[in-house]
Structure 1
Amino acid sequence: MEAQDKPRLSQQFVEIMVLLHNNFGRQTQVPLPLNQFAVLCTLMDTAGMAITDISRQLNISKQQMTNIIDKLVCANYVGKEPDVKDRRRILITISDKGKRLLENHMELFRQRFDSHAQNLTEKERQELAIILRRYYDLINKMFSV
């Protein structure tokens, strides 16, 4: 195969993302609008983030992010707290209710994945586990700062 005939690495990555979305993600309904759900996912493993940092990470305008955060605050999925290091900054933190919503949704994802994994042989499941671990490690390495 000629070098120009090989799919670019970025193209393969995009194809995998689309495949996962079409065959897995879309069938597992997200319990909130996607932009709100993305904010909760972003906050899950943090002690809190400023609205500017969340908007930058998710590539959503600060004005739009303010509306998203306000809706999440009203639903008690997130809270606002002063930054102890800089009292002028407000940090957005995920609430226990927000954590429970994410945990419940992730459990649905796991159940759906496990159900579909039963279509594979034991050897194929073992191979997939190795591939996914390696994929995770490499993507993490690519995007680490």
Structure 2
Amino acid sequence: MESQTQPSLSQQFVEIMVLLHNKFGRQAQVPLPLNQFGVLCAISDTEGMAITDISRQLNVSKQQMTNIIDKLVSAGYVSKETDSQDRRRIVITISQKGTKLLENHLEIFRQRFDSHAQKLSQPEKNELSRVLRRYYELINKMFSLQ
């Protein structure tokens, strides 16, 4: 009898990411290139981040990140400021315009998700909610700084 092997955790994670991208993300029509949108998401709830930190978090080279940041600065979505503690360090902060764009688009994501969730029964919605909360907790635990 052949034994069925379970996919690894990393394989399951990748499959979920691809599924979300294909079934949800692609149709979302992000108003910016994904790399720029990702920067807004990364810095949205910070007091500002250095380009090096953003590039490390998003796994993008510092050279590419500099180009992405320059485009966001030109569009008025972020600003560059010299760190008051270390004059050599440049801090990137999200602007009011960037925050508004991000909030509007995240609301579109939520509405789209809620619309698709209507296909589920109440017990299925409850189970999905429980699973998503736990998924969030575990992923956060895996990637938290220690």
Q: Report the equivalent of 1:112.
A: 112
Q: How far does the alpha carbon of each residue in 1:105-139 deviate from its partner, in whole angstroms, 9 at most, with x for none? A: 00000000000000000111011100100110011
Shift of 1:52: 1.1
Amino acid at match of 1:120: L
1:34 positional shift:
1.1
SS of 2:45's partner is coil
**For residue 98 of structure 2, what is the aligned residue in structure 1?**
98
The Cα offsets for residues 62-102 of structure 1, whole Å up to 9 and x where unpaired, read as: 11111111111111000011112111211010001000000
1:44 corresponding residue in structure 2? 44
SS of 2:40 mapped into structure 1: helix
**Secondary structure of 1:26's aligned partner:** helix
Q: Does 1:28 align with 2:31?
A: no
Q: Percent identity?
A: 75
Letter in 2 for 1:47: E
Unaligned runs of 5+ in 2: none
Distance across 2 between alignment mates of 1:62 and 1:13: 26
Corresponding residue of 1:9? 9
Comparing 61-70 with 116-125, which one deviates more in the overlay? 61-70
Map 1:50-129; keep pairs closer than 5 Å: 50-129=50-129
Corresponding residue number in structure 2 for 1:130: 130
Cα distance in 2 for residues equivalent to 1:89 and 1:133: 37
* 1:61 Cα deviation from its structure 2 partner: 1.4
Q: Distance in 2 between matches of 1:121 and 1:22?
A: 23
The number of aligned residues is: 144
Deviates more, 1:81-90 or 1:41-50: 81-90
Indicate the RMSD between aligned Cα atoms, in angstroms: 1.2
Aligned partner of 2:32: which letter? Answer: L
TM-score by length of 1: 0.95
Cα offset, 1:9, TM superposition: 1.2
Q: Which runs of 5+ in 1 are unaligned?
A: none
Deviation track 1:18-66 (CA, whole Å, cap 9, x = no partner) reads 1111111111011001111111111101101111111111111111111
Instruction: Give distance in 2, aligned partners of 1:63 and 1:139.
Output: 29
**After alignment, is 93-102 or 9-18 more displaced?**
9-18
Q: Return the alpha-carbon distance in structure 1 between the equivalents of residues 144 and 82 of structure 2.
A: 28
TM-score calculated relative to the size of structure 2: 0.94
